[in-house]
Amino acid sequence: MPTPDFWNARYAEPGWAYGEAPNAFVAAQTHRFAPGDAVLDLASGEGRNAAFLAGRGLRVTAVDSSAEGLAKTARLPGGDAVETICADLATWSPDREWDGTVATFLHVPADLRPALFRRIQTWLRPGGLLVAEWYRPEHRARGLGGGPMDATMMVSADELRGAFHAAGVLLLEEADVTLDEGAYHVGPSAVVRFVWRRPGGAPESGGGA
């Protein structure tokens, strides 16, 4: 698993490792958040999603283990309004909840994911939304570029079904897409996309498993 030193070195490279634009799936799902919602961006990297969301009137907290990446957030439009926290998600224990959480390509070893998925749910208020995208194992099996070399660090739809209550699933799909996100996420990609509402809030129409 890459260390903070690995990510600091990557984000110190010239330019933007994963581009300046937000992830396309996150951008397409932004309508699900209400103006002024507090949104948590996990493994924020250089802040592309966080800055985009802040620029649309959301109150964004960006968390990443790389201080180098977080420092670049303010250089993006909207990024100066983002709260940044340098922390390891495996041990981070915030004392508050958020209206929404976004996570793109948050890949960790398989043995750490069940606990991380449980923790993510506790960071959402009842009715709060998770919007997330990962590479799925087929990506590595097809020999496509980008993402972790170890396919066990990728996430399947079945794993998500087992980790999150079915009543909260608004969208769960495996998709074959073409990414254009900086130098490291480019070309044909096998991904899984997920929108989930923590039970306890008002239901949302639309979407589907």
Output the pLDDT for position 201: 66
73/45 Cα distance (integer angstroms) = 8
Output the pLDDT for position 1: 76
Q: Could you tell me if 147 and 105 are in contact, meaning their C-beta atoms sit under 8 angstroms apart?
A: yes
Question: Exposure pattern of 47-62 as b/e (b: 16+ CB <10 Å)?
Answer: bbbbbbbbbbebbbbb
Domain boundaries, the chain: 4-197
* CATH entry 3.40.50.150 includes domain 4-197: yes
Q: Could you tell me if 157 and 172 are in contact, meaning their C-beta atoms sit under 8 angstroms apart?
A: yes
* CB atoms near residue 1 (< 10 Å): 11
147/117 Cα distance (integer angstroms) = 19
Q: Could you tell me if 197 and 127 are in contact, meaning their C-beta atoms sit under 8 angstroms apart?
A: yes
**Residue 31 neighbours by CB under 8 Å, 6+ apart:** none
How far, in whole angstroms, is CA 159 from its chain's centroid?
A: 16
Amino acid at 181: E
Output the pLDDT for position 205: 37
The angle formed by the CA atoms of residues 196, 159 and 200, to the nearest 5 degrees, is 30
170/37 Cα distance (integer angstroms) = 19
What pTM, to 2 d.p., does this model score? 0.94
Output the pLDDT for position 70: 98
* CB atoms near residue 144 (< 10 Å): 16
23/128 Cα distance (integer angstroms) = 20
pLDDT tens for the chain, residues 1 to 209: 789 999 999 999 999 999 999 999 999 999 999 999 999 999 999 999 999 999 999 999 999 999 999 999 999 999 999 999 999 999 999 999 999 999 999 999 999 999 999 999 999 999 999 999 999 999 999 999 999 999 999 999 999 999 999 999 999 999 999 999 999 999 999 999 999 999 986 544 333 33
